[in-house]
Structure 1
Amino acid sequence: MQTENPIPVRLKIARKKAQLTQKELGVRIGMDEGSASGRMNHYEKGRHTPDVATLKRMAKELGVPLNYFFCEDQTTAELACLISKMTKEEQKELITRLSNS
């Protein structure tokens, strides 16, 4: 069973939350101004999948962790964002708490 690529959905949600147009995001991550909107549109429509380096730049610009783009549902995507904002110590404590429950 093939799973749908979660990247287009995650990308669109994060971009809209950041209140950026496709072109603005593309330019901010280093794309040529003339092609930024079209390239970002292809990523959001799932016609093309960005490489990991591009995804890393998008994640940094949008303020989300890289793994956010691979979450298949909104709950795990939100958890990924929350966990990424925790300190390493807080993350370790969370792992311990969840492992013991």
Structure 2
Amino acid sequence: MVKKEPATVFGRRLRAARLRADIPQDKLGVKIGLDEGTASVRMSRYETGVHEPPFGIAVRLAQALRVPAAYFYCDDDELADVVLAWGWLSKSERKPIKALIEAKLAAKNTG
């Protein structure tokens, strides 16, 4: 059986996160509270872009996959990588990165 490629950014990101976490579609669906009988079909539809889940379900998916919910919606691959990495950092690890970004923006706005 050939898997249909995701047609949406959300679907692409969801599939990538799920595969990275090595969780089958049905198990992920059940983990976020979907009915066992429909979990696989619903997850497949989210991944292929047939349906996009409500934001509340996207948040539960993000929690289950340990990624920021914003990752699912990034249409820029580089930004998606940054959002993903940001989610893996502690608050103390984020501080110097945020300061660097703010300094770069300040310099750009004054220069």
With the shorter chain as reference, the TM-score category is 0.7 to 0.9
- Who is 1:93 aligned against? 99
Count of residues in Structure 1 that have an aligned counterpart in Structure 2: 98
SS where residue 49 of structure 1 aligns?
coil
SS where residue 44 of structure 2 aligns?
helix
Q: Is the 8 A contact 1:83 1:91 kept in 2?
A: no
Mapping for residues 1-101 of structure 1, pairs under 5 Å: 5-84=8-87, 85-87=89-91, 89-99=95-105, 100=107
Q: Deviations over 1:42-94 (max 9, x none)?
A: 10110111000000000011111011001113321110011232425345313
Unaligned runs of 5+ in 1: none
Q: Is the 8 A contact 2:11 2:47 kept in 1?
A: yes
How far apart in 2 are the matches of 1:80 and 1:37? 27
Query: TM-score scaled by structure 1?
Result: 0.86
Unaligned runs of 5+ in 2: 1-6
Which of 1 and 2 has greater Rg?
2
Which 4+ stretches in 1 moved above 6 angstroms?
Answer: none
How far apart in 1 are the matches of 2:70 and 2:38? 26
Bigger shift: residues 25-34 or 83-92:
83-92
SS where residue 67 of structure 1 aligns?
helix
Q: Percent identity?
A: 37
SS where residue 26 of structure 1 aligns?
helix
